[in-house]
Amino acid sequence: MISTQEESKPVLLVLGSERALPEFLVDWVQQECERSQQNFRIGMLDAFIPIPDGHMVVVLAPHDNPTMRDHIQDISTHVPTLIIGHPEDRAFYPEASVWLDLTHMTPHVLRHGMAELQACIAGHLRPLLPRQTWMLQFRNRIKTDKQIYLQLVSCRWRPAAAGDSAELRFATQQSFEHQLRANAPEDAMIGKLLDDQFVIISHNEKALSAHWLHSFADNMSFLWTAFLSSPVKLDGYDDLGEALQYCVREIEHSRMMQSGLGGRSLNHNDSGVVQDLVRALRGKEFYLDFQPQFDTSTGIMVGAEALLRWLHPNLGIIPPTTFIRDAEMAGLIRTLGSWALRETLSTWHKLNDQGISLRMAVNVSFPEVADPDYADKVLALLEEFQVPAGCLELELTETAMMLDASVSLRNLRLLKQAGVHIVLDDFGTGFSSLSHLSDLPITGIKLDRAFVTPLSQLEDNSKQMHIVATMLDLAQRLELETTAEGIEDQNCLEVIHALGCDRIQGYFYAQPMSVDKLIERACVSEAVLCDYSGQQSLF
């Protein structure tokens, strides 16, 4: 029994929902409560609704019960709540004070989570909002607030945190997110865009400009280091995309300059960049993530785009925007491109062994397609890996196709005749795309996200809506397949579907993922897609 005096203290309710908490979790919670002299009760959620003010809650998230989900969502908006659940259930609970992944639970992880819960009671931690929730709240806030500044925070895991230990990586990420939430300006609204990328808005430009988050660049006891962009003033919702792009470029430039990898021209005698890239190729530091693509009419996964990544031993994960140009200048892009193509064809085989055949898309640079033997090399690799030509898609920008047109176009014509799909990437961003469209040996176009993502917020009669509709109509008349990247929400999907686009790609359904995750996702037998909020799409 808990005495009347003890009842005046915050009580921790440890609750099951559609099923009781596993015994090991109950034991761990009990040990933590006894260690911290925390009053607690253990039971089922139904028996404690409504939750009294002043209490804290640890609850096991239901996996299939919408009613229970609604109860927990309501609780998490009123009292500090630590929710333990499977990763796919995370988006159901945007207001959770603390979220712990049930698949990575350890006594240490639970202790850390309960410490964060106590910090929430004391008001020391700002909420960390999922991507879609942050976007929605930002959209509402910018309508009335005219003095808002945006800052991007990028976390780079050190190699030790990106190894085989999922427990270590999870604990490292928790540590970083705790520092972020505890030190952000008081009025900050923090959103989690990606596992390693966070966005903050605040009225306090001075606070954002200060060094409010330690980078720990020189402290190897921390398995992460942080990079912050300069604050950027926002005048409206439409400024968000450009501001984020500016912040990403600024952070990546700072990172590369700090490491000595950027800011100078390359030569083959003394360039540290060349040495780094050669070492990375030999040391197998490059890897591929894959972003699934779906048929707009059926919702079935039909393809995946291979995205090149570099796990640098000191800098962590480096996106291709920061090293592709250096690889081209160093004369290594063909080697890198050949490796990426081989890895992609190997992934196709892994999928095919599971009875699934997807079209695999690979980005191709100008130096590759300008190689007189490029088409022969691609066809030889298809034969070597026994991959049907129709299961490969090459994505190129118009610039890559036209810089050395005589050679590039010949290669592309040969590949198209063999059955390989040739897609014009970033369609709509070039000045002469329309004039060349009928001449290029392509099978499809890919609408740039700059045209696609804003569609959900546009009026039906807006100029940009007409532009997208015209591009899709033109492509259909030319019998070109169309793909839209940058699908961010349900409204955007519905617009693209109504306009007749063939394929979709975007974070609304799937972020870039590892080979194993792609195979797991592709093996799901359901043809009807569900978005991350758990609501079924229009399929």
Residue 56, C-beta contacts closer than 8 angstroms, at least 6 positions apart: 10, 11, 12, 13, 79, 80, 81, 82, 117, 118, 121
CB 140 within 8 A of CB 134: no
CA distances to 229, 242, 243, 413 from 246, rounded to whole Å, are 9, 6, 5, 37
Would you state the torsion angle of the CA atoms of residues 24, 26, 32, 33, taken in this order, to the nearest 10 degrees? -170
To which H or E segment does residue 165 belong? none
Give the angle subtended at the CA of 456 by the CAs of 454 and 462, to the nearest 5°.
70
**What is the DSSP annotation of 333-386?**
HHHHHHHHHHHHHHHHHHHHHTT---EEEEE--HHHHTSTTHHHHHHHHHHHHT
Of 72, 170, 71, 81, nearest to 125 (Cα)? Answer: 81
DSSP code at position 188: -
Report d(CA 51, CA 73) in Å as an integer. Answer: 12
Contacts of 133 (CB under 8 A, 6+ apart): 94, 191
DSSP 3-state of 201: strand
Q: How far apart are alpha carbons 78 and 48 in whole angstroms?
A: 14
Starting at the earlier edge strand, list the strands of the sheet with 81-85: 40-44, 12-16, 56-60, 81-85, 98-101
Give φ, ψ of 43 to 5 degrees: 180, -155
- Residues annotated as catalytic (active site), given as ranges: 485
The dihedral through the CA atoms of 333, 339, 345, 347 has a sign that is negative
Angle at alpha carbon of residue 331, lines to 329 and 335, rounded to 5°: 130
Give the N- to C-terminal CA distance of the chain in Å, as an integer.
Answer: 53
Distance CA 54, CA 499 (A): 51
Q: How far is CA 388 from the centre of its chain?
A: 30
- Residue 228: in which H helix or E strand, if any? strand 224-228
